[in-house]
Structure formats: C-alpha cells, structure tokens
Structure 1
Amino acid sequence: MTNRKFALLHHRITQWYAASARELPWRAPDASPWSILVSEFMLQQTPVVRVQPVWEQWMQRWPEAADLAAEPASEVVRAWGRLGYPRRALRLHATAQHIVELHGGQVPRTEKELLALPGVGTYTAAAVASFAFGIPATVVDTNIRRVHARLVKGCALPEPSYTAKEAALAERLMPAHPADPEELHPLANAWNISVMELGALICTARNPRCGDCPVQDLCAWVAAGRPAPHYVPKGQAWAGTDRQVRGSMMAVLRHTPGPVGRTALVGGIDLLRPLSDMQLELGSETGSEAHEAWVVLYALAADAEQRERCLAGLIGDGLARETTAGVGLPA
C-alpha cells in the first residue's frame, strides 16, 4: 500500500469519524485525563452501553484520582457493580493511589510513566497518552486490528493473538508524526480514535456494514470477495464456568451489608424458608437485591468443590476477605 493510499485512508476515515462518531462523555473536549483513564479501565472487554452509566456514576462520586484513592477497596468493588472482571476495580483503585503518591494526583503523560501504573498495559498506556494528551502513540485494540486486517491484508479477522507483524502494520499506518514522542499531533490522535470507531460501528466482527464504509473501495478484503475467516474464533463460555460462579458470589458480597458465612456461600440455604430465618442464618440484613443475588447463586449447577475453588480464588485475588465474622468485601 502506497503512502498516497495511506493518506487517502487517513483523510476519509477521520472525516467519517467527525461526521458519524458517537457522542461519549469521555470523548468530550473537556474530559479530564483521569476520566479518560477510568473509561479505558472500564471498557476492557465490556461494551459501551454497560460502561457509560457506571462511568457517569463514578465520575460524579470520584471526579479526581485522589477521591477514589481515599475510598476503601470495598466501596470501589461495590461501585464496580456488574461490569465484570472486578479485579479491574482493585487495579484502578491501586492506580489512583499510585497517581496520588507519585504524581501529585495528576495522571502522568508519557507511555513509560503510564505503564508503571498498576493494571496499565501497553494498550491502555497508548490510549491514555493519545486520547488524553494528544501524544502520537500507536493505539491497537481488537476493533483496530480487525480494520487493519481487512483493509490491508484482505483477511476477515486479525490473528487470534496479537503478532509482531500486526504491530508493525499499525506503526506503518500511523500518520507521520514529529520525532519528539511527546509532541502533540492531532492527526495521529484522530486516526487512532477514528479507526477504533469504524471497527466498533461499521467494520464489525459479525455482519459488517460495508455499504456504509467510507473506504469500501480501498478495502483489500472487499476486493478479494470478502473471504471467510482463516480460523474459527473460539467463543468465551460463561454458563457453568468458574467466572459465572465467582460473579454470582461477588453479587452476594456486594449486596449483603455485612460478612456472610462461608458455609452459606459454598454450601446451601433453603430459599423457600421465610426471609427472617434466612437473615439469621446469613448473619446480616438481607434486602431484596441481596435475596435475588442468593437466588441466582444457588440456582447455579455448581458443586461444592467448584464453589470452594471459586471462593478461594476471590480471596486470593483480594476481591474478598475472610475473618472470624465471615466472608465479605476487601477492607
């Protein structure tokens, strides 16, 4: 692909984004670096429709890193709600504390400094550098990889795992930018977010809307007749997995005001008994949300061994703690 074609891709895709992008609060001109960092943590493996209401609640409650850093971990995990992968909440909490202790409460600018934050990997560091500070970092997520694979390589999907060739292609596709890696470069930032949005809305994994694509005539995959993927993607199972059991246990811990007995979590209770009797057995006041969480947990086809394993995993990950009073959220 020639430099002229690259320039055409840059122009068309960024112009499409300017006219068609979703209005998301973390993309607003006045969005703070902290608010963008929070959004990147929440958006990992989680769709925008689930993230936005939780993000808005978080930013109202914790508009600065120092606000979150001052909260106990239990409140952070509880506020994470049903976003999934709750270890992200603990890492974000640790990141906030790190930002306060080492950066005066301000999100650092450079990729190197961002990578030193707990829970921040290569993608998140590049995304925050680009979207929060306009630094020309090369951002590559699943959506971007898919657009690159179709546009340039003619493949329906990117490789199952991120490869060095894909990284090199992403670098080649970036608009030329200044030698100083910290110098602002609006086109590079616009390119990153535009390709990401194109993959999210148009060049989707299933049922891509090629007729609405601003670069359909330049797409190698379309030119090749839209061939099928060269491998069968593996779906991520949920029903019956440890993730499902752990998620149900976390729901119980979030909605129950105090510690609950280990036996109740890994054994069983009679959900047909009067609520008042259940409250005594669980050692806490059980409201409707808590009762529903218990119902869901005990509806799972998980044996005692799996429940024990999942509880041990939650405690080992710091998402739960066990004391003489029972099992609860981290302090």
Structure 2
Amino acid sequence: MVSARQVNPWYRENRRDLPWRRPGFPAWGTLVSEFMLQQTQVSRVLPRLEEWLRRWPTPADLAATPPGEAVRAWDRLGYPRRALALHSAAVAIAEQHDGKVPADVDALLALPGIGQYTARAIAVFAYGLRHPVVDTNVRRVIARAVEGQGLAGPAATARDLAAMDALLPAENDEAAVFNAGMMELGAIVCTARNPKCDACPLADVCRWRALGYPAYAGPRAPRQQRYVGSDREARGRILAVLRGSEVPVSEEALVEAVTEPDRRSRILEGLLKDGLAALTDDGYALP
C-alpha cells in the first residue's frame, strides 16, 4: 500500500532545493509562488519569484502599487490575468487580514484567484496544516500506484481530494512532507512520459507496475489549443508592447505586433474586458 513510510524518506533524500521549501520562507512567498506555478515550469518561475519578492516583500507592498505594475512585472510568465488576481488577493489580504496571509482554507478560498488546490497548498506548505493537496503530478502517481491506471484522466476535485486524504498520515508534519513528496515523485520520477520506475520508492507496491503497465483506455482531458498562431500568442505580443512602454500606445503603434485589423481589434477588446489594458485619451496602457 502507498504510504508515507515509502514516500517521505525518499523525498527528504531526493527533493530539489526550491525557495518555497526552505525554512523561514514566508507565507506570502508561498502564495506568490503558487500563483506563478500554475501551468508554468519551475525553471521559468524561479527568477521571476525572486524579483517579485524583492520588490514586494509583503502583500501590503503589492497592494499599494497600481495593478498595471503587477502585469508589467509578470513579464512573460503567461496567463497574465494571474497577475491581476494576485494583485487583488494582496489588496484583500491587506484590507481584510491585517496584511497577513490567512491559514484557514475557507478564508484562502475567499481571496481572488485562489481555488481548491492553491488554498490547500498554502495552508499545508506555509502553515503545516493537514490537508490533501492534489495537482497533476499527485493525480498521476495515485492513478498508477493505487488504481493501476497509466494516466489519471480528467480531474474531479472531490474524488481526487478524497483519494489523497485517504493516504495522508495523521501527523501534520508528516502529512505536509507526504504532500510535497507525492508532488515531487510525479514531477521527477513518475513522469507522464518515460517514468523512472527503477528509481521509484513505490515500485514494490505500484499496482500499475504489478499489472504489467497496461495502456490507459479511459477518458482524457481535452487538448489545449495550439499556442503558436493563436489569439493567446497575439495577446502576448500586444501585452509585451504595453509592458515595454511607460506611456499609452496608439492602436497604430500595435500594427507590427498584430497585423490583421479585425484580430487586433478583437484582442484589444478582450484585454480591456479582462482588465489587462485600459483605454486612455492617448491610447492603450496597462491598468
């Protein structure tokens, strides 16, 4: 059976040295890192996280800054609405929680931009509380080691949380380590492609391995839209121009970024609607 007895010693010996795992890393830093890590590789997050926390070491520091500066500092991390949500979360923390990131899951869920995964990740990794934390890596490890399936299939929050909760040790500290260990196992050993089964601490209890690695035949999550040539890529080009300018930019100045007039107008309208751009008398600018 999968348990902390196998995962936790392996994690303590093999974990990557990441800022949010170091003693004394602030809860605010954990919150910022979780926002940044959504659908973004660790290697891309690390330099941006360091710069962000140096500039805004507390929620109040970010809350006192215009939201457009958060979008500018987000740079090329992708999905820039996360920057606006993070700024809104900082404002809420400053105004409603005396500038301190709350530890309670329900209070965290009430903050802008924070969902089930992020709320539990902050409660566990910043405050050491016992909650199941389930990301794509954890779901894959459970699917293979516990359920004998090659992939996890589409997410189902209640089911996934219950599956992880059933494996958590009772002690807060060990539960936090187990959460991190399962994530790390999925990230560097039990990977989606070419899993390193010979190096896995769960090899002896893995049901998928015992069954002979059967191919996954269940439902699959829908594929993400191709980025190259998409409106999302074009949005990024326009935002790059706005980030690089300290003054409003006319639509004519955006022609090089997006040449098709209809597409450019559609994207600008979307940026205004999402709050990622503002229209002034002189042109378009960050909010």
Residue 291 (structure 1) aligns with: none
Residue in structure 2 matching 1:238, options 227, 230, 240:
227
Q: CA deviation at 1:176?
A: 2.7
**What is the letter of the counterpart of residue 176 of structure 2?**
N
Indicate if the aligned counterparts of 2:154 and 2:220 stay in contact, CA closer than 8 A.
Answer: no
Q: CA deviation at 1:263?
A: 3.2
Map of 1:120-135 to 2, 5 A cutoff?
120-135=114-129
Residue 194 (structure 2) aligns with: 207
Q: Equivalents in 2 of 1:27, 1:304: separation in Å?
A: 47
- Post-superposition Cα deviations, 1:212-246, rounded to whole Å, max 9, x if no partner, equal 11111111111111122225664421012111111
Quick check: 1:329 aligned with 2:286? yes
Quick check: 1:118 aligned with 2:115? no
| Rg comparison, structure with higher value | 1
Q: Equivalents in 1 of 2:157, 2:215: separation in Å?
A: 20
Q: Equivalents in 2 of 1:197, 1:51: separation in Å?
A: 16
Residue 68 (structure 1) aligns with: 62
Q: Which has the higher contact order (CA 8 A, sep 6+)?
A: 2
For structure 1, list consecutive stretches of 5 or more residues without a partner in the other structure: 178-184, 269-293
**What is the letter of the counterpart of residue 179 of structure 2?**
N
Deviates more, 1:13-22 or 1:254-263: 254-263
Indicate if the aligned counterparts of 2:153 and 2:220 stay in contact, CA closer than 8 A.
Answer: no
Q: Equivalents in 2 of 1:222, 1:234: separation in Å?
A: 26
Cα separation, partners in 2 of 1:107 and 1:232, compared to 1, 3 Å: closer
**What is the letter of the counterpart of residue 254 of structure 1?**
R
Residue 155 (structure 2) aligns with: 161
**TM-score, scaled relative to structure 2:** 0.95
Indicate if the aligned counterparts of 2:131 and 2:165 stay in contact, CA closer than 8 A.
Answer: no
Q: Equivalents in 2 of 1:253, 1:91: separation in Å?
A: 19
Quick check: 1:255 aligned with 2:249? no
Q: 2:192 is paired with a residue of what secondary structure?
A: coil
Q: CA deviation at 1:163?
A: 5.2
**What is the letter of the counterpart of residue 148 of structure 1?**
I
Q: Equivalents in 2 of 1:109, 1:233: separation in Å?
A: 32
Q: Equivalents in 2 of 1:233, 1:32: separation in Å?
A: 35
For structure 2, list consecutive stretches of 5 or more residues without a partner in the other structure: none
**What is the letter of the counterpart of residue 259 of structure 1?**
P
Q: CA deviation at 1:264?
A: 3.2
Residue in structure 2 matching 1:229, options 213, 216, 230:
216
- Post-superposition Cα deviations, 1:31-50, rounded to whole Å, max 9, x if no partner, equal 01011010000000001000
**What is the letter of the counterpart of residue 326 of structure 1?**
G
Q: Equivalents in 2 of 1:170, 1:191: separation in Å?
A: 10
Map of 1:1-331 to 2, 5 A cutoff?
5-6=1-2, 9-162=3-156, 164-177=158-171, 185-230=172-217, 231=219, 234-236=222-224, 237-265=226-254, 268=255, 294=256, 297-298=257-258, 303-330=260-287
Q: Equivalents in 1 of 2:158, 2:94: separation in Å?
A: 35
| Identity across the alignment (%) | 50
Q: CA deviation at 1:305?
A: 2.1
Residue 282 (structure 1) aligns with: none
